[in-house]
A = this chain, B = another copy of it.
């Protein structure tokens, strides 16, 4: 659109005439004045139609929220006492000299920025995504994933594209969607890029991918969705899982500092603060956490192979109070609870050199060292009751020399949820897929 000025740049045009295009965010009639908040991709500005502009008033009276308009206007400085320093363009106002309707809108199903229940929110996403809060959430999400890639690329990790159609339910978890492939064959949707990123370590040593993964899990909770974006990385020539954890924390630190810098307005809109990440975070073995819970609360979960959600919340609260950290790493989950490729600790047999990173009460990352010896890997596949033949493609990487390596995976949506302290992962998921819903509720 020729000569259009973006709303965030209006300050540079004080006392000039400009062309602005966007959506009507709000219309307020004040006696003979009409105020319009105009929104474009870059921001929001207040505009006013003065009482002497009869023609414009008659058009402006018809305008309703979400109508798309083009406006000719003069950019005025606001009088001192009307300045709102807290918001973009709080010190200017557009005086409207002409309005053209580009696209009309139906009456809204409900007010744009009102809180509605989750099903109504999801049913109306093409509309509800336009609310100030939702726009803020997914703006932050775009910065998280952008910085994730940037910081890893800066540290010489190579991005690769991981396939989604896979030939087997590789990890044998059973939570896998089936796809009708060609010639009556069945394919499966990848539950993680794990096997491919290990192959890629053989190629580039340090790799990452941001890829959609699919989990055919039937539970419907505030923490689970059936399709999500997984932020993965894998690196070679590590000493053990601690090297992986160091790279992960470096990555998260970089994301947090980037979001704090780039998303000040969004954090204000969401009225939230980012999680605290001190220089050193607490790192504890699973059994140490369990002993601590027993000692501090009296509840005996020692010997359990995993932490219950309530235990995850407890240890996070403890880490925050004791170490000022919203993050805590729990290591050494038992071999029985981890996938076949997980590295067993020679000094702590039947426990693994793996970790979960918890943040604000839930696990946000799983990672660790992997087995890099071909024959050991084959043995572990068999021990898990899986067939090495199903893994012959993957196993090639290990036939031809693999260094000690490890990595992590974390869900972008859950990361967004926890960074912004949202109560439901679906609020941090664009178009969440769940058991009864793909965009709309699936009819019975």
Hey, which chain B residues are within 8 Å of A24, CB to CB?
401
Would A372 and B430 be within 8 Å (CB), given that A177-B181, A214-B165, A439-B167 are in contact? no
A268 at interface (Cβ–Cβ under 8 A)?
A: no
Could you tell me the distance in whole angstroms from the C-beta of A321 to the nearest C-beta in chain B? 34
A294 at interface (Cβ–Cβ under 8 A)?
A: no
Most B C-beta atoms less than 10 A away, residue of A135, A185, A397, A438: A438
A31 at interface (Cβ–Cβ under 8 A)?
A: no
Hey, which chain B residues are within 8 Å of A179, CB to CB?
177-180, 189
Closest to A435 in B: B182
Q: Contact: A41 with B156, CB < 8 Å?
A: yes
Could you tell me the distance in whole angstroms from the C-beta of A213 to the nearest C-beta in chain B? 10
Could you tell me the distance in whole angstroms from the C-beta of A151 to the nearest C-beta in chain B? 12
Q: Contact: A203 with B400, CB < 8 Å?
A: no
User: Per-position contact with B for A399-426: 1 when CB-CB < 8 Å, else 0?
Assistant: 1111110000000100000000000000
Q: Contact: A164 with B212, CB < 8 Å?
A: yes
A260 to B130, CA, bound (A): 39
A278 at interface (Cβ–Cβ under 8 A)?
A: no
Closest to A102 in B: B403
Count of chain copies = 2
Most B C-beta atoms less than 10 A away, residue of A108, A149, A182: A182
Of B4, B239, B394, B430, the residue contacting A160 (CB under 8 A) is B430
Q: Contact: A403 with B103, CB < 8 Å?
A: yes
Q: Contact: A129 with B202, CB < 8 Å?
A: yes
Interface residues of A in 221-260 (CB under 8 A from B): 226-227, 229, 236-239, 243
User: Per-position contact with B for A161-187: 1 when CB-CB < 8 Å, else 0?
Assistant: 111111100000000011111110101
Chain A interface bracket (under 10, 10 to 19, 20 to 34, 35 or more): 35 or more
Q: Contact: B105 with A399, CB < 8 Å?
A: yes
Q: Contact: A163 with B431, CB < 8 Å?
A: yes
Would A145 and B159 be within 8 Å (CB), given that A166-B438, A179-B177, A206-B41 are in contact? yes
Of B103, B125, B393, B430, the residue contacting A440 (CB under 8 A) is B393
A212 to B196, CA, bound (A): 15
Would A4 and B392 be within 8 Å (CB), given that A181-B438, A206-B41 are in contact? no
Q: Contact: A438 with B187, CB < 8 Å?
A: yes
Hey, which chain B residues are within 8 Å of A4, CB to CB?
237
20 A–B contacts from the bound complex (CB under 8 Å): A1-B238, A6-B156, A23-B403, A40-B237, A41-B156, A41-B204, A41-B236, A66-B400, A103-B372, A103-B373, A105-B401, A108-B400, A141-B160, A145-B159, A145-B161, A160-B430, A164-B212, A181-B442, A183-B436, A392-B440
Q: Identify the 9 closest CB pairs spanning chains A and B, nearest first.
A: A41-B205, A105-B401, A66-B401, A126-B396, A126-B397, A167-B438, A142-B159, A393-B439, A66-B400
Taking A42-B156, A145-B161, A163-B438 as given, write out 10 further A-B residue pairs in contact, using a Cβ cutoff of 8 Å, ordered by the A residue number.
Answer: A41-B205, A68-B403, A124-B396, A125-B396, A135-B203, A139-B204, A165-B226, A165-B227, A167-B440, A187-B438
